[in-house]
Structure 1
Amino acid sequence: MAPARRRKLLAALAVITVVAAFFVGGGYSWVRGDGNVEELLTETGIVGPLVFVGVMWLTQPLGVPGFVYMAPAGIVWPAPTAVALAWVGNMGASYLAFTFARWFARDWVSERIPARMGVFYDRLETGGLWPVVLLRLVFGQLPPADWMLGVTRVSTRTFVIGTGIGIVPGVVLFVVAGGGLLDALADMSTATRRAIIVVLVACAIGRRVWIRRRRRAAASGPAA
């Protein structure tokens, strides 16, 4: 078995193990319990916000979308508090991913930065602030954006300031609009919610298949 394939298999097994442990250990039942999560976040003083931010810091650098956390935050807390906590969570997660790329896995992340981000590389190499802000406005808190900043000559200071400015619109949008979207979904029937989920999953799978076919066609084109 090729090393790359072996790593993917081990990663998949690790994820399956963690998910299984979560279910077997009663984690899913606790989360499903009426009000348990909201009570943890809002009725435990400073502990709730710290847990929220800590989970973002630990999971977002691994590829978990920030929307997963920002949308519920808009329901749990008042908008100003939710935006502030989501901003802190995103900043910490971005810094960890940036540091990981710069000091520990430069070659590994360079191979995984999407080609569409390449247009920013030369601008980022100049070390200016506004290219960082622009990158954030376009790609938000996506981990590949953090990785790309990590492999360029952008200073840590410029990264922090540019990221802090550039993610503000996205954080506000996801917290406010995401919270409203979740409220709307909560008012829908179970059948409607399931239908929406099925459509979204089908669209995601279809997009992935289409991208793979385009890549295969592009790769086989010159050889034809």
Structure 2
Amino acid sequence: MFRQKRVVLIVILIVAALFYFSGLSKHITLDSLKEHQQTISCFAGENRLAAAALFMAVYVVQSALSLPGAAILSLAAGAIFGTVMGTIYAVTAATIGATIAFIVTRYLFHDAIQARFGHRLAAINREMETAGLSYLLFLRLVPIFPFFLINLAAGLTRLPLRTFITGTLIGIIPGGFVYVNAGASLSTITSPGNVMSTRVLGSFALLGLFAVSPVIYKKFARKF
């Protein structure tokens, strides 16, 4: 078992190293997307299924290996496929990639972490088993922690896989829609960081609080 885990880890490290040292990371930028938008859009127009499959494959790999470029890919989805289909492709691919990262993390490190720190993580494990969906929706809706970090951390807990998939799929739709919709008007975007306005972030924070409100209510109800 240990040997199999080591092989999986080595493969992941090799793929990640190839991404960085091959120079691919230099092409996943806003400037590169704008420069090649017309060419990519023409290809997608003539090869809709192939373009969608290729885009989703790239997005799945990016999310699964926690590589940079998620925001650019979401903008690209809007620029290439439009707001509706772009959101569907981006959210679906991101969820699949996140699920792969979750499963791999659980396979590689969950048992070791639980064996060493299980007594310290007992309370967290109970919360994840009973109210994991609420917590995950909050983390997905409110961009406090990086997307990839949530994938990895969740894999180390006892959060059920079904709950992770559901919470991720639902939780990333609002943010994904905002980026994809912005990508549909790519020429107006000067920086990926400018897509999320203070008002939008505030709206997501309210949605996150609404998602976690049942947990808060139960905790207060127990005290009275």
Distance 1:12 1:166, change over 3 A: closer
Pair 1:152-2:157 in alignment: yes
Match of 1:221 in 2: none
Letter in 1 for 2:87: V
1:40 to 40, 43, 47: 43
Q: Which runs of 4+ in 1 moved over 6 A?
A: 10-13, 107-110
Distance 1:157 1:76, change over 3 A: same
Return the structure number with greater relative CO, CA threshold 8 A, min gap 6. 2
Letter in 2 for 1:155: P
Letter in 1 for 2:22: V
CA contact under 8 A between 1:98 and 1:146: conserved in structure 2?
yes
Q: Which runs of 5 or more residues in structure 2 are unaligned?
A: 1-9, 115-123, 195-224
* Distance in 2 between residues matched to 1:85 and 1:109, nearest whole Å: 34
* Distance in 2 between residues matched to 1:12 and 1:86, nearest whole Å: 21
Pair 1:60-2:51 in alignment: no
* Distance in 1 between residues matched to 2:87 and 2:69, nearest whole Å: 16
Distance 1:171 1:121, change over 3 A: farther
What secondary structure is seen at the aligned counterpart in 1 of 2:102?
helix
CA contact under 8 A between 1:94 and 1:141: conserved in structure 2?
no
Match of 1:87 in 2: 91
What secondary structure is seen at the aligned counterpart in 2 of 1:154?
coil
Letter in 2 for 1:167: I
Pair 1:142-2:144 in alignment: no
* Distance in 1 between residues matched to 2:36 and 2:22, nearest whole Å: 20
Q: TM-score, normalised by structure 1?
A: 0.60
Letter in 1 for 2:88: A
CA contact under 8 A between 2:82 and 2:184: conserved in structure 1?
no
Match of 1:18 in 2: 22
Q: List aligned pairs for 1:1-224, cutoff 5 A.
A: 14-15=18-19, 17-19=21-23, 35-63=38-66, 64-106=68-110, 123-124=127-128, 126-139=130-143, 142-180=147-185, 182-185=186-189
* Distance in 1 between residues matched to 2:160 and 2:154, nearest whole Å: 9
Number of residue pairs matched by the alignment:
166
CA contact under 8 A between 2:62 and 2:70: conserved in structure 1?
no
Q: TM-score, normalised by structure 2?
A: 0.60
What secondary structure is seen at the aligned counterpart in 1 of 2:142?
helix
Letter in 2 for 1:91: T
CA contact under 8 A between 1:65 and 1:142: conserved in structure 2?
no
CA contact under 8 A between 1:61 and 1:96: conserved in structure 2?
yes
Distance 1:13 1:137, change over 3 A: closer
Q: Which runs of 5 or more residues in structure 1 are unaligned?
A: 1-6, 24-28, 111-119, 186-192, 201-224
Distance 1:155 1:18, change over 3 A: same
The share of aligned pairs that are identical, in percent, is 23
Kindly state the Cα deviation for residue 75 of structure 1 after the two structures are TM-superposed: 1.6
CA contact under 8 A between 2:125 and 2:159: conserved in structure 1?
no
